[in-house]
Structure 1
Amino acid sequence: MKKLIYAMTIPLLWACQPQEQKAANLTYPESNKVDTTDIYFGTEVPDPYRWLEDDNSEETANWVKAQNEVTDSYLNNIDFRDKVKARLTALEDYEKVSAPFKRGDYYYFYKNDGLQNQSVLYRVKNFDDEPEVFLDPNTFSEDGTTALGGLSFSNDYKYTAYNISEGGSDWRTAYIMDTETKELLDDEVKWIKFSGMSWYKDGFYYQLFDEPKEGDELSAANQYGKVYYHKVGSDQSADELVYSNPDNAENRFGAGVSDDERFLFIYSYVGTSGNELYVKDLSNPNSDFIPIITGFDNDHYIVDNDGDDLIIHTNLDAPNNRIVRVSYQNPTPENWEDMIAETENVMSASTAGGNIFTSYLIDAKTAIRQYDYQGNLIRDVELPGIGTAGGFGGAQEDEELFYTFTSFTTPSSVYRYNIASGESDLHSRPELDFDPEVYETKQIFYTSKDGTEVPMFIVHKKGIELNGKNPTWLYSYGGFNISLQPSFSTSRLVWLENGGVFAMPNIRGGGEYGEEWHKAGTKLQKVNVFEDFIAAGEYLINEGYTSSEYLALQGGSNGGLLVGATINMRPDLAKVAFPMVGVMDMLRYQNFTIGRAWSADYGTSEDSEEMFKYLYSYSPVHNIDPDATYPAVMVTTADHDDRVVPAHSFKYAATLQEKNPNNPNPLLIRIETKAGHGAGMSTEKRIELYSDMYSYAWYNMGVIPEIAKKDM
Structure 2
Amino acid sequence: MKKTLMLACVAMSLTGAAQEKPVITSRAGFTLPPPPVVEKKPVTDTYKVTGSADVSYTDNYRYLEDAKAPATRAFIDAQNVYTQQYLDKLTMLPRVRESMAALLKVDQMNMPTERNGVYFFSRRKADENQGSIYMRKGLHGADVKLIDGPSRSADGNTSVNFMGVTEDGSLLTYGVRVGGADESEVHFFDLATRKDVGEVLSSARYYGVSIAKDKKGVYYSRFTPHVGCKVYFHAFGTPMTADKLLLGGEYKGEKLGEIDGIGVRVTENGHWLVFNINRGVPAKREDILLKDLTKPDAPIVPLVYGIDARFGLDVVGDEFFIDTDWKAPNHRVLKAEVGVAPDAWKTILPEGKDVIESVSFVGGRMFVLRLKDVMGDLRVYTLDGKETGHIAFPGVGSGSGMAGRFKSDDGFYAFQSLITPPTYFHYDVKSGKSEVFYTQPSPFQSGQYELKEVFFTSKDGTRVPMFIAGKKGLKRDGTERLLMTGYGGFALAMRPDWNPEYAWWMEQGGWFALPDLRGGNEYGEVWHKAAMFEHKQNVFDDWFAAAEYLIANKYTSAEHFAIRGRSNGGLLMGAAMTQRPDLFAAIWCGYPLLDMLRYQYFLLGRTWTTEYGSSENPDQFAYIAKYSPYQNIKQGAKYPAIMFFTGDGDTRVDPMNARKMTPAMQEASRGGRPILLHYSIKGGHSAGVSMSQLVEDYADEMAFLWTETK
Q: TM-score, normalised by structure 2?
A: 0.92
1:360 touches 1:366 (CA, 8 Å); kept in 2?
Answer: yes
The CA distance in 2 between the partners of 1:391 and 1:135, in whole Å, is 28
2:341 is matched by which residue type in structure 1? T
Alignment check: 8 A CA contact 1:593 1:643 kept: yes
Output the CA distance in 2 between the equivalents of 1:415 and 1:158.
Answer: 25
Deviates more, 1:172-181 or 1:495-504: 172-181
Q: Are the structure 2 counterparts of residues 110 and 650 from structure 1 closer, same or farther at C-alpha, using a change threshold of 3 Å? A: same
> What is the one-letter code of the residue matched to 2:529?
K
What is the CA distance between 1:558 and its match in structure 2? 0.2
1:639 counterpart (648, 658, 663): 648
1:684, CA displacement in angstroms? 1.6
Q: Does 1:206 align with 2:213?
A: no
Q: Is the 8 A contact 1:115 1:684 kept in 2?
A: no
Q: Does 1:256 align with 2:275?
A: no
1:139 aligned to which of 151, 155, 158: 151
Aligned to 2:659: 650
| Matching residue within 88, 93, 114 for 2:105 | 93
- Give 1:655 deviation, angstroms: 0.9
Amino acid aligned to 1:117: N
The answer as to whether partners of 1:147 and 1:168 remain within 8 angstroms in 2 is no
Task: Indicate the percent of aligned positions where both proteins have the same amino acid.
Answer: 33
Change (3 A) 1:571 1:128: closer
Determine the C-alpha separation between the residues in 1 that align with 2:607 and 2:267: 27
Larger mean Cα displacement after TM superposition, 568-577 or 338-347 = 338-347
Q: What residue number does 1:625 align with?
A: 634
For 2:187, the aligned partner's letter is Y
1:191–1:209: 8 Å Cα contact kept in structure 2? no
How far has the Cα of 1:480 moved from its partner?
0.2
**1:326-341 alignment, distance < 5 Å:** 326-328=336-338, 330-341=339-350
Determine whether 1:423 maps to 2:423.
no
Matches within 5 A, 1:172-571: 172-201=184-213, 202=215, 203-210=217-224, 221-246=225-250, 247-250=255-258, 251-272=260-281, 273=283, 274-295=285-306, 297-307=308-318, 309-328=319-338, 330-347=339-356, 348-390=358-400, 392-571=402-581
Contact preservation (8 Å) 1:491, 1:687: no
For 2:464 and 2:103, locate their aligned partners in 1 and report how far apart those are by CA, in whole Å: 32
| Separation of aligned partners in 2, 1:235 and 1:340 | 46
Q: Deviations 1:110-169 (Å, cap 9, x if unpaired)?
A: 322224222222112134443210122222222221223451212333321212221211
Alignment of 1:32 with 2:76, yes or no, is no
Distance in 1 (alpha carbons) for counterparts of 2:432 and 2:247: 41
| Root mean square deviation of aligned Cα | 2.1
Counterpart CA distance in 1 for 2:308 and 2:248 is 20
| Structure 1 residue 286, shift from structure 2 partner | 2.6
The answer as to whether partners of 1:152 and 1:160 remain within 8 angstroms in 2 is: yes
Q: Structure 2: where are the runs of 5+ without partners?
A: 1-6, 16-23, 49-53
Paired residues of 2:565 and 2:590 also in contact (CA < 8 A): yes
Q: CA 1:93–1:161 in 2, change beyond 3 Å: closer, same or farther?
A: closer
Partner of 1:13: none
Q: What per-residue deviation string (whole Å, max 9, x for no partner) do you get for residues 516-566 of structure 1?
A: 100111100000000100111111100000000000111100000001011
Distance 1:150 1:617 in 2: 43
Output one character per residue of 1:567-626: Cα deviation in whole Å (capped at 9) or x when no partner. 111010100011111110101111111111101110000122x41111111111110111
Matched position secondary structure for 2:427: strand
> How far did residue 645 of structure 1 move?
0.8
1:624/1:22 CA distance change after superposition, 3 Å: farther
- 1:652-694 CA deviation, whole Å, 9 max, x = no partner? 112111222x431111110112111142233222211221112
Offset at residue 22 of structure 1 (A): 5.8
Residues paired across the two proteins, number: 678
Q: Distance in 1 between matches of 2:588 and 2:306?
A: 38
Output the CA distance in 1 between the equivalents of 2:74 and 2:30.
23
Shift of 1:98: 3.1
CA offsets 1:449-490 (integer angstroms, 9 cap, x no match) = 111000000001111121101110010000000011121222
Specify the alignment match of 1:616 in structure 2.
Answer: 625
Partner Cα separation in structure 2 for residue 617 and residue 650 of structure 1: 21
CA deviation digits over 1:19-46, x for unaligned, max 9?
A: 4696863321122111311110121111
Give the one of 53, 58, 68 matched to 1:46. Answer: 58
Superposition deviation, residue 391 in structure 1 = 5.3
| Distance (Å, rounded) in 2 between the aligned partners of 1:21 and 1:368 | 47
Which residue is 2:707 aligned to?
699
Distance 1:229 1:54 in 2: 36
Moved more, 152-161 or 171-180: 152-161
Say which SS state the counterpart of residue 197 (structure 1) adopts: strand
For the 8 Å contact 2:248–2:256, the answer to whether it is kept is: no
1:167-216 deviation digits (Å, cap 9, x = unpaired):
21112211112122221122121243141212222222211234xxxxxx
Contact persistence 1:412–1:430 (CA under 8 A): yes
Q: SS where residue 582 of structure 2 aligns?
A: coil
- Find the aligned partners of 1:279 and 1:668 in 2 and give their Cα distance: 51
Q: Give the Å deviation of 1:108.
A: 1.8
Secondary structure at 2:228 match in 1:
coil
Deviates more, 1:397-406 or 1:620-629: 397-406
Q: Which runs of 5+ in 1 are unaligned?
A: 9-16, 211-220, 703-712
Instruction: Report if the CA contact (8 A) 1:31-1:63 is conserved.
Output: yes
Tell whether 2:678 aligns with 1:664. Answer: no
Q: For residue 392 of structure 1, report the CA deviation from its aligned partner.
A: 1.1
Secondary structure, aligned partner of 2:329: coil
Q: Which residue of 2 aligns with 1:594?
A: 604
On the 8 A contact 1:291/1:332 being kept in 2, the answer is no
**1:78 — aligned with what?**
90
Q: Does 1:126 align with 2:138?
A: yes
Q: TM-score, normalised by structure 1?
A: 0.92
Q: Residues 581 and 59 (structure 1 numbering): CA distance in 2 closer, same or farther, change over 3 Å?
A: same
Is the partner of 1:225 in helix, strand or coil?
strand
Alpha-carbon distance in 1 for matches of 2:482, 2:335: 48
Q: Deviations over 1:392-431 (max 9, x none)?
A: 1212331222222111121111212110121112233233
2:401 and 2:446 mapped to 1: Cα distance? Answer: 24
Return 118-127 or 254-263, whichever deviates more. Answer: 118-127
Pick which of 55-64 and 676-685 moved more.
Answer: 676-685
Matches within 5 A, 1:103-114: 103-114=115-126
1:270 is displaced (CA, Å) by 2.9
Deviations, residues 68-123 of structure 1 (Å, cap 9, x unaligned): 00001101101111101111112223322333321245222332222422222211
Measured in 2, the distance between the counterparts of 1:407 and 1:252 equals: 32
Structure 2 CA distance for aligned equivalents of residues 319 and 446 of structure 1: 23
